[in-house]
Amino acid sequence: MLIDAFADDWIDVLDARAAVLPPSSHLYLLLDGAFVPGLHNVLADDRKLVLFSALPGCTNETRDVSPFLTELRRGDKCSRAILKRCDGWPMVSVIETSETFEDLAKRLFAWCVVEADNQRFNFRFPDTRRLPAVLKILDAVQRSQLTGPAVRWSFIARDGCWHELDLVPSTGDVALDPQLDQPQFAALVEDSLADELMVLLGDRGHDAFLHPSASHALLSSALRAARKGKLDDEDVPAWCECFWRRGQTVDEPSALSLLETWRNSDQ
């Protein structure tokens, strides 16, 4: 699992929201199929929209790892069965909006592939580890194109609990060939470093903590110290591995002090 086990009542929270939903609004589940390939096959075709289906040359294998949408129905057994298979994976968002199923799918599909530095890449916004950074790096026009009239976007965060994006509902048009500039792309790369280090240390035989969110917090602290202390890039993994072995997060001054001690040691 990549994030903490979900809170015990996380599905019940959705049922409660569906019970008080205004007549003019819809609740849609956005699920990132990359983490549970083929999950969309549980749903009938008329109950889902698989975003990658609109890509040229889309295959069944591509569909099986695609983000997909389904409308959330209160107390629906099929929805509950799907959601239970998501536990521990950063793949669950719920969007409350006035848009139709089809219009929201078009809006989100436009951001599945974006351009940066003259290259096109899979923009993993349905991955809830990336989602907060995505909203943070987009400018106001881009955010309105992504979220449109949505009044609420909830997601299961690293701690296994529901969190909320800060939305400003708008009438933003669907994006046409969205692009990220170099600082935006660099910020997303930076945001993913702690997760990449978790994989690297796992490959080196280091066990993750009981709660993956604690592992991420520890490595994020080490990375902040590395940036503040202007540590050479090639030394960052070794420093983070040393910090990981300590198994304890500390404040920034303490982390910087530990970094200087490590840098001046034989390592």
Longest dimension (CA), the chain: 66
CA distance 117 to 14: 39
Tens digit of pLDDT for each residue in 1-34?
789 999 999 999 998 999 999 999 999 999 999 9
Tens digit of pLDDT for each residue in 183-193?
999 999 999 99
The answer to the question of residue 98 being in a domain is: yes
The predicted pLDDT at position 206 comes to: 74
Strands 179-180 and 113-116: parallel
Judge if 146 and 26 occupy the same domain. Answer: yes
Reported as type and span, the H/E element at residue 31 is strand 26-32
Judge if 167 and 190 occupy the same domain. Answer: no
Judge if 137 and 252 occupy the same domain. Answer: no
Judge if 56 and 162 occupy the same domain. Answer: yes
Tens digit of pLDDT for each residue in 202-216?
888 776 666 889 889
Listed residues 157, 179, 201: the one ending a domain: 179
Listed residues 154, 179, 204: the one ending a domain: 179
The answer to the question of residue 2 being in a domain is: no
Place of tokens 């099986």: 64
> Model's pTM, two decimal places?
0.93
The answer to the question of residue 5 being in a domain is: no
Q: What is the DSSP string of 125-148?
A: TTSTTTHHHHHHHS-HHHHHHHHT
The answer to the question of residue 197 being in a domain is: yes
- Rounded to an integer, the average pLDDT of 201-230 is 87
CA-nearest of 90, 83, 109, 86 to 27 is: 83
Judge if 158 and 255 occupy the same domain. Answer: no
The predicted pLDDT at position 208 comes to: 65
The answer to the question of residue 22 being in a domain is: yes
The predicted pLDDT at position 228 comes to: 94
Which residues span the domain enclosing 215?
A: 186-263
The predicted pLDDT at position 250 comes to: 86
Place of tokens 């034989």: 266
| pLDDT exceeds 80 at position 147 | yes
The answer to the question of residue 4 being in a domain is: no
Tens digit of pLDDT for each residue in 54-96?
999 899 999 999 999 999 987 788 888 899 999 999 999 999 9
Structural domains in the chain (count): 2
Judge if 117 and 238 occupy the same domain. Answer: no
Q: Report residue 235 CA to chain centroid gap.
A: 28
Listed residues 179, 209, 242: the one ending a domain: 179
Place of tokens 């006035």: 98
Judge if 160 and 89 occupy the same domain. Answer: yes
The answer to the question of residue 94 being in a domain is: yes
